[in-house]
């Protein structure tokens, strides 16, 4: 690096640091990381924390898992492990998680979030909750929302639209000159939408295509297109037929009405690192359903609700989510707050499981009445004004002191996340090297991962638009559209696609830098992700 700087004339006379000087810099970095980790650990006693599991398969076919801990103070990396011989062995997996819980402290752990809804991990979760009364088990919200999109995407109309959308993107992006001409009509706007969350790319791309409806129709009706060689090819004629078919645009709009609310929620839960999600996930999923219902003008929306409810009820929903909804003051005191049986059951379950003893449980139950009716500090003018201005945890810290047991209970619940470890984008090669070389790389892995996590705290992701999401370059875009192709070839209707094998997301990442070549590879991958 230094030689390159000098060669470019950037620093004549610059002296390369000595080994001792470089060693000092590394030692300072290690001290900074250990200080960060220590501060995060000290916060667990008051806020509690969530253990995150992140599994992947390396090039040798070994199954590896990273263990992270998440809390409002920040995420930290604990360890990685090779679980190749543990898959299918519930007791062995629980023993591994036991070690992590012991390291964190069982009194600090509020929940464990896993990476998949597979039958194996479901058994692990149930046995773990039986063993630890105070710990909840949940599946990553991002994974579950992706399953909802997959479920909806397998419906007949949806599959037809993906096939036609593929005709548009595949042909246009196969020729640079044609792409340039199309962009002239779309005012430079790309049809393919970038996103660091690969499962959202087809939907966001379809949204772009629909938004350019008029411009695309103008181009394919122009003499430039009609007199071109492209227009006289079989694929070109098929493309023209798709663009000129009103049914395609009608059905594409229907697909977006059913899926974009879910896509927006997926971008939301994967967005920020500093905002706990338990206070909002219940309301978020409810608003997704209500938005879909409104988009369909209260007609024919039930198939989409059913697809969402199936995964919410059987996979995603946790009692913590219900309690978080109830204890979030911005929602609890709103005019449309509804404490139905699901919310009441979840709250009661959390009190029973998280209350240290019967006396504490009774205190929490009694103090809830003050919160419900906004008595004492809960009803003070400043507290009322701050209900929608402050994060729920901050609000409880300021105004819940008259109900200490309830305050502690609320803060621990409202401090938790709903998403797994994959959103932190740790470099998996470090963990793979650690497993290959043993303890020699253990310290490097710990420092590298936690330095990345510490830096991530200062990164503010934009959760309302997609402009700041970077393209995630992967070995292959393994989304639901490719699974649909397999289902169609087998003669099935795709309604039962949500199985363990197809639930796994291929989240392997390349450690190299971003380049134009990488972008070209991703564009081709995105196009193939539409193929039916």
> What is the rounded average pLDDT of the residues 181-187?
94
- Same domain assignment for residues 253 and 296: yes
- Same domain assignment for residues 108 and 158: no
Query: What digits encode the pLDDT tens for the residues 331-340?
Result: 999 999 998 9
- Give SS3 for 129: helix
Q: Strands of 76-82's sheet, edge to edge?
A: 76-82, 63-70, 49-57, 109-114, 136-139
Q: Are 47 and 414 in contact (CB under 8 A)?
A: no
- Same domain assignment for residues 179 and 127: no
Residue 504's pLDDT band (boundaries 50, 70, 90)?
very low
Query: What digits encode the pLDDT tens for the residues 474-494?
Result: 222 233 333 333 433 444 433
Quote the pLDDT of residue 436.
Answer: 62
Distance in angstroms (rounded) separating the CA atoms of residues 489 and 485: 6
- Same domain assignment for residues 40 and 97: yes
Residue 463's pLDDT band (boundaries 50, 70, 90)?
very low
Quote the pLDDT of residue 31.
Answer: 86
- Same domain assignment for residues 109 and 154: no
Q: Return the exposure string of 290-309: e unless at least 16 CB atoms fall within 10 Å of the residue's CB, then b.
A: ebbbebbeeeebeebbebbe
Residue 325 has pLDDT above 80, yes or no: yes
365, 391, 421: which is the final residue of a domain? 421
Quote the pLDDT of residue 425.
Answer: 83
> Cα 163 vs. chain centroid, distance in angstroms?
26
Q: What is the pTM of this model?
A: 0.81
Q: How many domains does the chain have?
A: 3
Please report whether residue 517 resides in a domain. Answer: no
Helix then strand then coil, % of the chain, to nearest 5: 60, 5, 30
Please report whether residue 134 resides in a domain. Answer: yes
Distance in angstroms (rounded) separating the CA atoms of residues 522 and 169: 13
- Same domain assignment for residues 110 and 63: yes
Please report whether residue 521 resides in a domain. Answer: no
317, 349, 379: which is the final residue of a domain? 317
The chain-wide mean pLDDT, for the chain, equals 83
Residue with tokens 């896993």: 114
295, 317, 339: which is the final residue of a domain? 317
- Same domain assignment for residues 173 and 159: yes
Please report whether residue 291 resides in a domain. Answer: yes
Here the tokens at position 258 are 């059913």
Residue 526 has pLDDT above 80, yes or no: no
Quote the pLDDT of residue 249.
Answer: 97
Residue with tokens 């492990």: 81
Query: What digits encode the pLDDT tens for the residues 218-233?
Result: 999 999 999 999 999 9
57, containing H or E segment: strand 49-57
Residue 2's pLDDT band (boundaries 50, 70, 90)?
low
- Same domain assignment for residues 332 and 310: no
Distance in angstroms (rounded) separating the CA atoms of residues 164 and 244: 12
- Same domain assignment for residues 300 and 151: yes
Please report whether residue 484 resides in a domain. Answer: no
Here the tokens at position 438 are 């043993």
- Same domain assignment for residues 152 and 279: yes
Query: What digits encode the pLDDT tens for the residues 31-66?
Result: 889 999 999 999 999 999 999 999 998 888 889 999
> What is the rounded average pLDDT of the residues 405-430?
91
* Structural domain range at position 369: 323-421
- Same domain assignment for residues 172 and 281: yes
Please report whether residue 23 resides in a domain. Answer: no
Please report whether residue 486 resides in a domain. Answer: no
- Same domain assignment for residues 285 and 333: no
Torsion of CA 76, 506, 514, 17, to 10 degrees: 40
CATH code of the domain in which 49 resides: 3.30.420.60
Please report whether residue 310 resides in a domain. Answer: yes
% of the chain beyond a pLDDT of 70: 79
Query: What digits encode the pLDDT tens for the residues 100-112?
Result: 999 999 999 999 9
Q: For residues 159 and 383, which has the higher predicted lDDT (pLDDT)?
A: 383
């Amino acid at each position: 690096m230094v030689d390159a700087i000098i060669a470019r004339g950037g620093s004549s006379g610059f002296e390369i640091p000595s080994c001792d000087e470089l060693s000092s810099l590394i030692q300072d970095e290690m001290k900074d990381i250990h200080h960060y980790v220590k501060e995060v650990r000290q916060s667990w006693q008051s806020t509690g924390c969530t253990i995150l599991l992140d599994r992947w398969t390396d090039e040798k076919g070994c199954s590896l898992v990273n263990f992270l801990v998440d809390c409002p103070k920040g995420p930290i990396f604990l360890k990685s492990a090779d679980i190749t011989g543990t898959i299918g062995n519930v007791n062995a997996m629980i023993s591994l998680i036991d070690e992590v819980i012991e390291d964190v402290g069982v009194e600090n752990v509020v929940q464990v979030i896993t990476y998949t809804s597979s039958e194996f991990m479901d058994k692990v979760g149930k046995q773990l909750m039986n063993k630890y009364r105070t710990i909840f088990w949940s599946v990553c919200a991002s994974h579950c929302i992706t399953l909802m999109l997959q479920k909806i995407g397998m419906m007949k109309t949806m599959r037809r639209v993906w096939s036609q959308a593929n005709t548009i993107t595949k042909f246009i992006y196969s020729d640079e000159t044609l792409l340039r001409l199309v962009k002239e009509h779309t005012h430079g706007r790309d049809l393919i939408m970038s996103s660091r969350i690969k499962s959202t790319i087809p939907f966001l791309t379809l949204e772009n295509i629909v938004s350019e409806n008029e411009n695309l129709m103008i181009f394919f009706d122009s003499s430039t297109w009609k007199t071109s060689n492209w227009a006289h090819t079989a694929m070109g004629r098929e493309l023209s037929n798709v663009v000129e078919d009103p049914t395609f645009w009608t059905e594409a709009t229907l697909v977006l009405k059913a899926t974009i609310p879910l896509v927006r929620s997926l971008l939301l839960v994967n967005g920020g690192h500093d905002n706990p999600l338990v206070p909002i996930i219940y309301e978020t999923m409810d608003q997704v359903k209500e938005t879909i219902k409104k988009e369909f003008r209260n007609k024919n929306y039930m198939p989409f609700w059913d697809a969402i409810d199936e995964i919410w009820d059987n996979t995603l929903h946790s009692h913590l989510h219900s309690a978080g909804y109830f204890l979030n003051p911005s929602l609890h005191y709103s005019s449309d707050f509804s404490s139905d049986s699901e919310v009441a059951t979840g709250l009661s379950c959390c009190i029973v499981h998280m209350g240290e003893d019967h006396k504490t449980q009774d205190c929490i139950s009694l103090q809830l009445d003050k919160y419900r009716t906004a008595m004492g500090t809960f009803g003070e003018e400043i507290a009322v004004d701050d209900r929608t201005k402050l994060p729920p945890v901050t609000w409880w810290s300021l105004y819940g002191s008259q109900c200490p047991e309830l305050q502690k209970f609320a803060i621990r619940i409202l401090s938790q996340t709903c998403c797994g470890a994959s959103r932190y984008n740790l470099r998996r090669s470090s963990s793979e090297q650690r497993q290959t070389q043993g303890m020699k790389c253990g310290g490097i892995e710990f420092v590298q991962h936690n330095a990345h996590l510490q830096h991530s705290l200062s990164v503010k992701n934009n959760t309302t638009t997609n402009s700041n999401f970077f393209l995630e370059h992967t070995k292959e875009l393994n989304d639901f559209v490719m699974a649909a192709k397999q289902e169609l070839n087998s003669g099935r209707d795709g309604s039962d696609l949500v199985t363990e094998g197809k639930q796994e997301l291929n989240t392997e990442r390349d450690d190299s830098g971003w380049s134009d070549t990488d972008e070209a590879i991703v564009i081709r991958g995105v196009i193939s992700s539409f193929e039916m």
